[in-house]
Amino acid sequence: MEYNGNPDDYLFKPGETYILATRFSPGSRWHTLNPHPNARKTISEDPNLTKEQLVEIAKNDPKVQALQEAYQYEILLDADIYHNNTLNSYKSLHPEEEKPKE
C-alpha cells in the first residue's frame, strides 16, 4: 500500500500524546511498537497541555489504570528469559516482590 499523504492515514498525529506498549530490541537498539489495539492509548489531542496536565489525565484514565494493574501479571516469553531480554519487565524491576496472588 502506497502512502497518499492524507493526514488521516497517519499512525500517529502531530500534537497528540500517547501511551504505547513497546519492545526493546538489543540487537538493533530500537523500540518496536506492539500492534495490538490494547497496546496503545491516546491520552490527549491537545498539543498545548503541560506534562503535569498529561500525567493527571493519564492517572485518571480507566484504560491506563487497567494497563498498570495488568503489568504485575505480565507473562514473559521463554525465549526472552533464556536470552536475558526481560528489560523493563515487572519482575526485573521488582525482583524483591513475590508474584501477585491471583
Cα 48 to Cα 82: distance, rounded to the nearest angstrom: 44
* 8 located within any domain: no
DSSP state of 63: H
pLDDT at position 99 is 56
For 5-52, the pLDDT digits (tens) are 776 777 788 899 999 888 888 888 888 888 888 888 999 999 999 999
Mark residue 77 as left, alpha or beta (left: phi above 0; alpha: psi -120 to 50; beta: remaining).
beta
* 84 located within any domain: yes
For residues 76-83, average pLDDT: 90
Whole-model pTM over 0.75: no
Q: For the chain, what is the domain count?
A: 1
* 11 located within any domain: no
* 47 located within any domain: yes
Cα radius of gyration (the chain): 17
88 falls in which pLDDT band (50, 70, 90)? confident
Cα 73 to Cα 71: distance, rounded to the nearest angstrom: 5
* 28 located within any domain: yes
* 72 located within any domain: yes
Indicate the residue type of 37. P
* 60 located within any domain: yes
CB 69 within 8 A of CB 59: no
Range of the domain at 48: 16-93
* 83 located within any domain: yes
